[in-house]
């Protein structure tokens, strides 16, 4: 986490984001050398051209094709391989994948990736790409909720959630147990493995009223997608148990379930013939679900956003940056801006005081090429008679940017709409961390003044939302200054832990989390508590720590919170600390 205040007046900032079309590599052609060829009568004629096969056009042997593919696989490495194999694995089309693999250098790959997201931008005229932001928010949610001894994005539930978003409704049976079969599954009573049925009212390119069934037949939290609705039946192979309606009445036997062939082993029943006739429809639907979603938007050649910054008195504001892992090569970087109400110019109309601030931002790489831009407006509205009382309040703006690990430059400009010459700027380098697979690590430790669960429809999206939690970071006033809380408030803290070891036998983690709050003036511990990840999220290599601590019992002063993680499987330890002040 980094914080700073930077004031510049009388400057101009130009935001440019340009996308170049991919250049096709030139192909050199050479003519065959001229030779003299003797005529049949022994007389030497003039020079003629001996035709030779073009090596660039000749058909490759199987051995050469294999060597070429192997060389390509070796060349495609690092961030580009991770982007292809992880970031966009469930949404890239076959044609795009082949095109990406055929590129010859990193510059072309960078251009391809930029165009890949622009093709999916629902609002090409906007500097923001809502599709990309939503995609990485879905990956983060999948990793947090669907992990099962492997990252959540690799699971079938994670695949469907990333590709199609949250289901309209979910019928969940996390413990399995007693199950009354519907008539289309043969009727009768049985016991099931844990399973879920996700229902989508409509999926473009797939159809209406789509039901997707996931079964945890290993009882280990790894739900896999299935076409066969009998797969959730835990008694299917137990003689005499879990009989269907026809089996109870003697019209069929359990052995009939396994002798008829077909996709499902539901057995004979009142609707068996209808199930048989729908098998090809079910196969077709599964194929469409497994294919990447259709691209809705056309390719773009370029994009430009400009903004003229006026001169005038400096506009003060503070910025906080945090880091949250999505994949190894994509990190969410939430930027939190804090503006004091007393620095905003308010206009009064009809008994209402209104302040408006325009925010513009740009992220550039080390070559000064714009990577992302954003633009937004913050409004503050209070009754005119209460304006004086709210002067010491602050307004907070939040923007979450998906970035690759590396060094970037971030420029932010704010403008007071009611005082156009009132401008403030913030310019800093940001070093986005890389999270290695085999190294225990953690996100930023965020101290927040607000933290709450969000409704299902808002999961993974919206201001201050990370996963299924709305968390508003507290922003310090100045470089390296601690954040301040009042005794009437609660200290909310949030952190994610990554790459916990998973025991090969139990398929569970075994980490200990220690929480400690120390009074920095007296060096006394005011809070000491511990918890085990095996009790909270046992099958995941990633855990989210969310806690709230009332501050009424603390005396005014300086404190520090420390979270220590001791991984009993990988034998690694990490610790994150953050200071704060209680007044």
Token digits of residue 101: 């693999």
pLDDT for the residue 310: 43
pLDDT category at 8 given cuts 50, 70, 90 is very low
The predicted-structure confidence for 382-392, as pLDDT tens digits, reads as follows 999 999 888 88
pLDDT exceeds cutoff 60 at 447: yes
pLDDT exceeds cutoff 90 at 105: no
As a three-state string, the secondary structure of 178-216 is EEECCHHHCCCEEEECCEEEEEEEEECCCEEEEEEEEEC
User: Could you tell me which of 81, 108, 113 has the C-alpha nearest to residue 96?
Assistant: 113
pLDDT exceeds cutoff 70 at 1: no
Token digits of residue 184: 């289309």
Instruction: Specify the DSSP element, H or E, that contains 71.
Output: helix 62-75
pLDDT category at 7 given cuts 50, 70, 90 is very low
pLDDT for the residue 124: 62
Q: What percent of the chain has pLDDT over 70?
A: 80
pTM value is: 0.59
pLDDT exceeds cutoff 80 at 206: yes
pLDDT exceeds cutoff 80 at 148: yes
The predicted-structure confidence for 107-145, as pLDDT tens digits, reads as follows 888 888 888 888 887 776 666 788 888 999 999 999 999
> Strand ranges (DSSP E) for 455-523?
465-466, 469-473, 483-485, 490-498, 511-519
Q: What is the mean pLDDT of residues 444-473?
A: 84
- Alpha-carbon distance of 409 to 415, in angstroms, equals 20
Poorest-confidence range of 51-55, 75-79, 124-128?
51-55
pLDDT for the residue 472: 92
Q: Which fold has domain 437-583?
A: Immunoglobulin-like (2.60.40)
pLDDT for the residue 361: 83
Q: What share of the chain is helix, strand, coil (3-state, %, to 5)?
A: 20, 35, 45
In the chain, domain spans: 1-18+307-435, 131-290, 437-583
pLDDT category at 15 given cuts 50, 70, 90 is very low
Q: What is the mean pLDDT of residues 345-354?
A: 91
Q: Which fold has domain 1-18+307-435?
A: Immunoglobulin-like (2.60.40)
pLDDT for the residue 154: 94
Token digits of residue 279: 């098998």
Sheet holding 511-519, edge to edge: 483-485, 573-582, 557-567, 511-519, 524-532
Q: What are the C-alpha distances in Å from 191 to residues 129, 178, 231?
A: 46, 4, 11
CB 335 within 8 A of CB 143: no
The predicted-structure confidence for 517-576, as pLDDT tens digits, reads as follows 999 999 999 999 999 999 888 989 999 999 999 999 899 999 999 999 999 999 999 999
pLDDT for the residue 75: 56
pLDDT for the residue 158: 95
- Alpha-carbon distance of 510 to 500, in angstroms, equals 8
- Alpha-carbon distance of 340 to 355, in angstroms, equals 11
pLDDT for the residue 112: 86
Q: Which comes out higher in pLDDT, residue 458 or 57?
A: 458
- Is 381 exposed, middle or buried, given 0-12, 13-18 or 19+ CB atoms closer than 10 A? exposed
Cβ count within 10 A of residue 60: 10
pLDDT exceeds cutoff 80 at 461: no
Instruction: Give CA torsion, residues 366, 367, 371, 375, to 10 deg.
Output: 90
Highest mean pLDDT range out of 284-298, 405-419, 545-559? 545-559
Does 437-583 match 1-18+307-435 at the fold level? yes
pLDDT category at 457 given cuts 50, 70, 90 is low
What residues contact 102, with CB distance under 8 A and at least 6 apart? none
Kind of pairing between the strands at 483-485 and 573-582: parallel
Poorest-confidence range of 64-78, 261-275, 415-429, 530-544?
64-78
Q: Which comes out higher in pLDDT, residue 9 or 406?
A: 406
Q: Which comes out higher in pLDDT, residue 580 or 307?
A: 580
pLDDT for the residue 211: 93
> What rounded mean pLDDT belongs to the chain?
81
CB 481 within 8 A of CB 497: no
Q: Which comes out higher in pLDDT, residue 366 or 196?
A: 196
pLDDT category at 60 given cuts 50, 70, 90 is low
- Per DSSP, the residues of 114-146 read HHHHHHT-S-TTSSS-HHHHHHHHHHHHHHHHS
Three-class secondary structure of residue 462 per DSSP: coil
Q: Which comes out higher in pLDDT, residue 550 or 295?
A: 550
pLDDT exceeds cutoff 90 at 581: yes
pLDDT exceeds cutoff 50 at 20: no
Dihedrals φ, ψ of 469, to 5°? Answer: -125, 135
- Alpha-carbon distance of 189 to 96, in angstroms, equals 48
Poorest-confidence range of 34-48, 55-69, 411-425?
34-48
User: Could you tell me which of 367, 401, 306, 327 has the C-alpha nearest to residue 110?
Assistant: 367
User: Could you tell me which of 57, 84, 88 has the C-alpha nearest to residue 72?
Assistant: 84
pLDDT for the residue 473: 94
pLDDT exceeds cutoff 60 at 5: no
Token digits of residue 247: 């089996």
The predicted-structure confidence for 296-325, as pLDDT tens digits, reads as follows 543 322 322 333 444 567 888 999 999 999
CB 183 within 8 A of CB 145: no
pLDDT for the residue 126: 65
Three-class secondary structure of residue 458 per DSSP: helix
CB 19 within 8 A of CB 302: yes
pLDDT for the residue 575: 96
Q: Which comes out higher in pLDDT, residue 478 or 256?
A: 256
pLDDT for the residue 308: 41
pLDDT for the residue 312: 60
């Amino acid at each position: 986490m980094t914080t700073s205040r930077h004031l510049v007046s009388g400057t101009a900032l130009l935001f440019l984001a340009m996308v170049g079309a991919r250049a096709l590599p030139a192909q050199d052609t050479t003519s065959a050398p001229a030779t003299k060829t003797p005529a049949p009568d022994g007389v030497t004629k003039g020079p003629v051209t001996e035709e030779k096969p073009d090596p660039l056009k000749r058909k490759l042997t199987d051995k050469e094709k294999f060597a070429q593919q192997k060389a390509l696989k070796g060349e495609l490495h690092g961030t580009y391989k991770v982007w292809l194999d992880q970031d966009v694995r469930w949404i890239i089309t076959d044609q795009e994948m082949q095109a990406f693999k055929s590129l010859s250098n990193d510059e072309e790959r960078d251009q391809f990736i930029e165009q890949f997201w622009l093709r999916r931008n629902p609002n090409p005229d906007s500097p923001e790409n809502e599709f990309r932001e939503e995609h990485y928010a879905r990956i983060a949610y999948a990793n947090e909720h669907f992990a099962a001894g492997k990252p959540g994005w690799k699971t079938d539930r994670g695949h469907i959630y990333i590709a199609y978003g949250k289901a309209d409704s979910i019928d969940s049976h996390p413990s399995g147990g007693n199950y009354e079969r519907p008539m289309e599954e043969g009727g009768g009573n049985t016991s099931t493995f844990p399973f879920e049925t996700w229902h989508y009212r409509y999926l473009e390119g797939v159809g209406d009223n789509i039901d997707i069934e996931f079964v945890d037949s290993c009882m280990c939290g790894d739900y896999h997608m299935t076409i066969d609705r009998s797969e959730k039946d835990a008694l299917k192979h137990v003689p005499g148990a879990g009989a269907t309606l026809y089996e109870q009445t003697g019209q069929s036997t359990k052995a009939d379930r396994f002798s008829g062939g077909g996709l499902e082993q539901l057995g004979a029943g009142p609707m068996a013939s209808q199930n048989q006739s729908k098998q090809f429809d079910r196969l077709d639907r599964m194929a469409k679900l497994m294919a990447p979603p259709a691209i809705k938007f056309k390719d773009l050649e370029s994009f430009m956003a400009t903004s003229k910054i006026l001169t005038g008195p400096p506009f003060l504001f503070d910025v906080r940056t945090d880091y949250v892992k999505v994949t190894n090569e994509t990190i969410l970087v939430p930027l939190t801006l804090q503006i004091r109400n007393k620095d905003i110019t308010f206009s009064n109309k009809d008994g209402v005081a209104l302040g408006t601030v325009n925010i513009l931002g740009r992220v550039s790489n080390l070559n000064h090429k714009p990577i992302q831009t954003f633009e937004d407006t913050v409004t503050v509205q209070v009754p005119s008679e209460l304006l004086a009382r709210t002067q010491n309040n602050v307004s907070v703006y939040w923007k979450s940017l998906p970035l690759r690990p590396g060094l970037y430059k971030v420029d932010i400009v704010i403008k007071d709409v009611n005082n156009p010459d009132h401008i403030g700027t913030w310019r800093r380098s940001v070093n986005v961390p890389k999270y290695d697979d085999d190294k225990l690590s953690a996100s930023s430790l965020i101290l927040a003044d607000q933290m709450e669960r969000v409704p299902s429809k808002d999961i993974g999206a919206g201001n201050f939302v990370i996963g299924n939690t709305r968390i508003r970071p507290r922003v310090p006033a100045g470089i390296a200054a601690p954040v301040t809380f009042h005794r009437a408030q609660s200290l909310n803290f949030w952190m994610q832990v990554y790459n916990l070891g998973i025991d090969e036998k139990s398929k569970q983690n075994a980490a200990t989390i220690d929480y400690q709050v120390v009074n920095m003036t007296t060096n006394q511990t005011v809070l000491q508590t511990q918890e085990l990840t095996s009790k909270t999220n046992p099958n995941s290599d990633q855990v989210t720590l969310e806690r709230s601590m009332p501050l009424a019992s603390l005396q005014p002063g300086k404190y520090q919170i420390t979270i220590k993680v001791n991984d009993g499987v990988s034998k690694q330890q990490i610790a994150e600390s953050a200071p704060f002040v209680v007044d």
